[in-house]
Amino acid sequence: MGRLSGKTAIITGAATGIGQATARVFADEGARVICGDINESELNETVRAITKNGGEAEAFHLDVSDEENVKSFADGIQQKYGTIDILFNNAGVDQEGGKVHEYPVELFDRIIAVDLRGTFLCSKYLIPLMLEKGGSIINTSSMSGRAADLDRSGYNAAKGGITNLTKAMAIDYARSGIRVNSLSPGTIETPLIDKLAGTKEDEMGEAFREANKWITPLGRLGKPEEMAAVALFLASDDSSYVTGEDITADGGIMAYTWPGKMLIDKKWKEETE
């Protein structure tokens, strides 16, 4: 406990899922947590839960794809706090769109705007608040930024861009004492997964989880709290010599080249039940 005592952390996409779990963990570790999201009702609930538990948190409406909104947000934080220590660029969206020749331009633009451009905008306007004393930036990428998915080229492009943007930022700001790393989750049990694949109670959602359960070497989906633990490592001094890295937390999916024997090996499948 107390690994982030006295530090100010900004988390985007903090209303649900990984962002929410990380906000709670950061607050438990002593950070003042500034939570941003477009989903104000659930964001306010996140902040209420943190403060009820004795932590310090504030909620701000934040559309990371809107430059003026991001700039105004950054100006307000600078006026109130002067500097920040941690920036977790976590906000993101995802949706299937079909093959590239079928893919709606509007959907591609939306995913790029929130996931990639949003990471850029928040970094651009909030890094000046870190230049005085350094800090840590964590960008949420994805295992889908390292390999491709069927019918999700917009998401693959956005997350691949985040992974390499992270490396560029790490080089740009290393001599300023700012470390920059990305966190690449696998399939995590979040409201986004419920929206994309169905809930645990839905037939489609149940089938999706069963498929992921046996094709993931650890035999299950990840938990938001497990991603929060990785984010805490990257935010704290425990990772003081780590920058420019992409930390993949996917239950082992990226460890193999193709599912091969797993598709026909009954013993492999039965061990996850």
Interval 44-92: pLDDT, tens? 999 999 999 999 999 999 999 999 999 999 999 999 999 999 999 999 9
Residue 91 C-beta-side C-alpha neighbours within 13 Å: 33
Least confident of 33-37, 66-70, 127-131, 259-263: 259-263
pTM reported for the whole predicted model: 0.94
Extract the runs of DSSP E, i.e. beta strands, from 18-167. 32-37, 56-61, 86-89, 135-140
Residues 51, 28 contacting (CB under 8 angstroms):
no
What kind of architecture, by CATH, is found in domain 8-190+223-256?
3-Layer(aba) Sandwich (3.40)
Question: Would you state the structure tokens that stand for residue 140, as one six-digit string?
Answer: 């949420």
Per-domain residue ranges of the chain: 8-190+223-256
Q: Which two tokens stand for residue 7?
A: 């530090």
Higher pLDDT residue, 259 or 12? Answer: 12
Which residues touch 222 (CB under 8 Å, ≥6 apart)? 185, 186, 187, 188, 189, 249, 250, 251
Count, residues in the chain: 273
Give the SS3 label for residue 202. Answer: coil
**Residues assigned a catalytic role:** 155
